[in-house]
Structure 1
Amino acid sequence: MRWSNAFYIASFGILFIGCVPKISELPKDSKITLALEETSEQQVQKNWWKNFNDPNLIFILQKAREYNSDLQIAQTRIQQAMGILKIAKSTLYPSVNITMSPQYTQNMLTPVFGFSTPIGMIDPTLNISYDFDFFGKNKKERKNKAYQAQAIIAQSIATKISLDASVAKTYINLIALKDKLSILQNTLKARAIELDIAQSKSKTGYSSQYDEQQAKIQYEATKAQIAPTKLSIEKTQNTLEELTGINAKELKTLKSLNQINEPILPKKIPSSILRNRPDIAYAEFELAASSEALAKARANFLPDFNLIANLGVAAFTDFFDTAGHIFTGAIGASILAPLFQGGKLKGEFAVANAKRDEAAYTYKKIVLNAYKEVKNAQASIEWLKDQQLSLQEEHKAALKTLQYAKGRYKDGYSSYLEVVDAERSLLDLEGQIITLKTAYIESLINLYQSLGSGFNIEEVKLPKEGKKEKKNAK
Structure 2
Amino acid sequence: MISIIKNNKLQKGLVFVAIAFTLQSCFVAKDYKRPEIEETENLYRTDNLPSDSLSMADVSWKTLFTDPFLNQYIEEGLQNNMDVRIAIQQMIAAEAYAKQGKAGYLPSVSLGANATHQELSKNGQFGSLFGGGIDQYDITASLSWEADVWGKIRSNKRATTANYLQSVAAHQAVKTQLISNIAITYYQLLALDSQLEITKQTIETRKNSVKTIKALKDAGLTNQVAVDQNIAQYNSARALEVDIETAIFKTENTLSILLGKSAQKFERGSLTNQKIETELKLGVPSTLLSNRPDVMAAEYNLIQSFELTNVARSNFYPSLKLTASGGFQSLDLDNLINANSLFATIVGGLTQPIFNKRNLKTQKEVALAQQEQSLLQFKKALLVAGNEVSNALFTYTSETKKFEFRKNEVEALRKAEQNSDELLKNGYATYLDLLTARQSALSAELNIIDSKLQQLVSIVNLYEALGGGWQ
TM-score > 0.5 by shorter chain: yes
Matching residue of 1:195: 210
1:366 alignment partner, one of 381, 386, 396: 381
Check conservation: 2:142, 2:325, Cα contact below 8 A. yes
How far the C-alpha of 1:226 sits from its partner, in A, is 1.6
How far the C-alpha of 1:431 sits from its partner, in A, is 1.0
Q: Measured at CA, do residues 5 and 333 of structure 1 come closer, stay the same or move farther in structure 2, by a change above 3 Å? A: closer
Matching residue of 2:368: 353
Separation of aligned partners in 2, 1:323 and 1:156? 54
Q: Map 1:61-210 onto structure 2 (within 5 A).
A: 61-102=74-115, 122-210=137-225
Q: Measured at CA, do residues 426 and 222 of structure 1 come closer, stay the same or move farther in structure 2, by a change above 3 Å? A: same
Residues 372-396 of structure 1, C-alpha deviation per residue, up to 9 Å, x if partnerless?
0001000000000000011111211
Task: Give aligned pairs, total.
Answer: 445
Q: Measured at CA, do residues 284 and 305 of structure 1 come closer, stay the same or move farther in structure 2, by a change above 3 Å? A: same
Check conservation: 1:277, 1:455, Cα contact below 8 A. no
Check conservation: 2:137, 2:332, Cα contact below 8 A. no
Counterpart secondary structure, 2:322: strand
Separation of aligned partners in 2, 1:51 and 1:30? 31
Separation of aligned partners in 2, 1:56 and 1:12? 66
How far the C-alpha of 1:274 sits from its partner, in A, is 2.3
Separation of aligned partners in 2, 1:40 and 1:302? 46
Range moving further from structure 2, 169-178 or 6-15: 6-15
Q: Measured at CA, do residues 96 and 167 of structure 1 come closer, stay the same or move farther in structure 2, by a change above 3 Å? A: same
Range moving further from structure 2, 390-399 or 4-13: 4-13
Residues 168-215 of structure 1, C-alpha deviation per residue, up to 9 Å, x if partnerless?
111111111121111111101110000011112212323222221221
Check conservation: 1:141, 1:292, Cα contact below 8 A. yes
Separation of aligned partners in 2, 1:156 and 1:150? 10
Check conservation: 1:27, 1:357, Cα contact below 8 A. no
Check conservation: 2:29, 2:155, Cα contact below 8 A. no
1:428 alignment partner, one of 439, 443, 468: 443
Check conservation: 2:24, 2:149, Cα contact below 8 A. no
Matching residue of 1:286: 301
1:32 alignment partner AA: E
1:149 alignment partner AA: Y
Separation of aligned partners in 1, 2:33 and 2:66? 47
Counterpart secondary structure, 1:32: helix
Matching residue of 1:471: none
2:272 alignment partner AA: N
Separation of aligned partners in 2, 1:15 and 1:315? 43
1:280 alignment partner AA: V
Matching residue of 1:263: 277
Separation of aligned partners in 2, 1:175 and 1:406? 31
Check conservation: 2:285, 2:386, Cα contact below 8 A. no
How far the C-alpha of 1:270 sits from its partner, in A, is 1.5
1:431 alignment partner AA: L
2:404 alignment partner, one of 367, 374, 389: 389
Matching residue of 2:39: 32
Separation of aligned partners in 2, 1:404 and 1:443? 37
List runs of 5+ in structure 1 lacking aligned partners.
Answer: 107-115, 457-474
Q: Measured at CA, do residues 40 and 6 of structure 1 come closer, stay the same or move farther in structure 2, by a change above 3 Å? A: closer
The root-mean-square deviation of aligned C-alpha atoms, in Å, is: 3.4
Check conservation: 1:316, 1:323, Cα contact below 8 A. no
Counterpart secondary structure, 2:109: strand
How far the C-alpha of 1:30 sits from its partner, in A, is 6.6
Q: Measured at CA, do residues 42 and 22 of structure 1 come closer, stay the same or move farther in structure 2, by a change above 3 Å? A: closer
Matching residue of 2:462: 447
Check conservation: 1:154, 1:281, Cα contact below 8 A. yes
Separation of aligned partners in 2, 1:5 and 1:215? 104
How far the C-alpha of 1:252 sits from its partner, in A, is 1.0
2:391 alignment partner AA: N
Separation of aligned partners in 1, 2:160 and 2:464? 28
Counterpart secondary structure, 1:152: helix
How far the C-alpha of 1:248 sits from its partner, in A, is 3.9
How far the C-alpha of 1:156 sits from its partner, in A, is 0.8
Check conservation: 2:176, 2:469, Cα contact below 8 A. no
Q: Measured at CA, do residues 245 and 299 of structure 1 come closer, stay the same or move farther in structure 2, by a change above 3 Å? A: closer
Separation of aligned partners in 2, 1:257 and 1:336? 72
Counterpart secondary structure, 2:41: coil
Q: Measured at CA, do residues 405 and 420 of structure 1 come closer, stay the same or move farther in structure 2, by a change above 3 Å? A: same
Whether 2:281 is the aligned partner of 1:274: answer no
Separation of aligned partners in 2, 1:318 and 1:302? 45
Q: Measured at CA, do residues 454 and 323 of structure 1 come closer, stay the same or move farther in structure 2, by a change above 3 Å? A: closer
Counterpart secondary structure, 1:145: helix
Range moving further from structure 2, 122-131 or 36-45: 36-45
Residues 239-279 of structure 1, C-alpha deviation per residue, up to 9 Å, x if partnerless?
1112213454431111x311111334334531343221111
Q: Measured at CA, do residues 8 and 250 of structure 1 come closer, stay the same or move farther in structure 2, by a change above 3 Å? A: closer
TM-score, L = length of structure 2: 0.85
Counterpart secondary structure, 2:110: strand
Check conservation: 1:30, 1:361, Cα contact below 8 A. no
Check conservation: 1:88, 1:142, Cα contact below 8 A. yes
2:107 alignment partner AA: P
Range moving further from structure 2, 236-245 or 153-162: 236-245
Residues 345-386 of structure 1, C-alpha deviation per residue, up to 9 Å, x if partnerless?
111111111111111111100000000000100000000000
Check conservation: 2:410, 2:441, Cα contact below 8 A. yes
Matching residue of 1:296: 311
Matching residue of 1:462: none
2:276 alignment partner AA: E
Identity %: 27
Check conservation: 1:38, 1:271, Cα contact below 8 A. no
Check conservation: 1:43, 1:454, Cα contact below 8 A. no
Q: Map 1:241-252 onto structure 2 (within 5 A).
A: 241-252=256-267
Q: Measured at CA, do residues 33 and 53 of structure 1 come closer, stay the same or move farther in structure 2, by a change above 3 Å? A: closer
Q: Measured at CA, do residues 89 and 269 of structure 1 come closer, stay the same or move farther in structure 2, by a change above 3 Å? A: closer
1:419 alignment partner AA: L
Check conservation: 1:317, 1:323, Cα contact below 8 A. no
TM-score, L = length of structure 1: 0.84
Whether 2:67 is the aligned partner of 1:54: answer yes
